[in-house]
């Protein structure tokens, strides 16, 4: 599946219209980044840091511990086979 996706992306980049469109979009993004410099850098930093922060939170989240029944210590053990 990954190979098919990489193949499709490479084939799209080979075409001149797609290459022109993508380079135009990247140029427009660079212009926007420079024009709105203080705010745009904060927005880009938040967009890039959000998945990292979410993954870190999921990795460090405390594990759920099932509490032991308070009546478990009063439970009678099953008698062993007496013969």
| pLDDT digits 0-9 by tens, 14-43 | 888 888 888 899 899 999 999 999 999 999
d(C-alpha 78, C-alpha 72), whole Å = 13
Is 72 a residue whose pLDDT tops 90? no
Q: Could you tell me if residue 67 is inside a domain?
A: no
As a whole number, mean pLDDT of residues 67-75 equals 78
Q: Please check whether residue 39 lies inside any domain of the structure.
A: yes
d(CA 24, CA 31): 10
Domain assignment present for residue 77? The answer is no
Domain that holds residue 37: 2-60
Give me the residue label for tokens 């007496």.
82
pTM over 0.85: no
Find all residues with CB under 8 Å of 21, minimum gap 6, and list them.
none
Count of domains for the chain: 1
Assigned domain for 81 exists: no
40 lies in some domain: yes
């Amino acid at each position: 599946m990954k190979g098919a996706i990489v193949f499709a992306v490479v084939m799209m980049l080979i075409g001149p219209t797609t290459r022109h469109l993508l380079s135009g979009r990247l140029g427009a993004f660079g212009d926007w980044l420079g024009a709105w410099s203080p705010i745009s850098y904060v927005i880009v930093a938040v967009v890039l840091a959000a998945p990292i922060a979410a993954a870190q939170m999921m990795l460090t989240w405390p594990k759920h511990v099932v509490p032991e029944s308070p009546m478990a210590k009063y439970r009678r053990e099953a008698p062993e086979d007496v013969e």
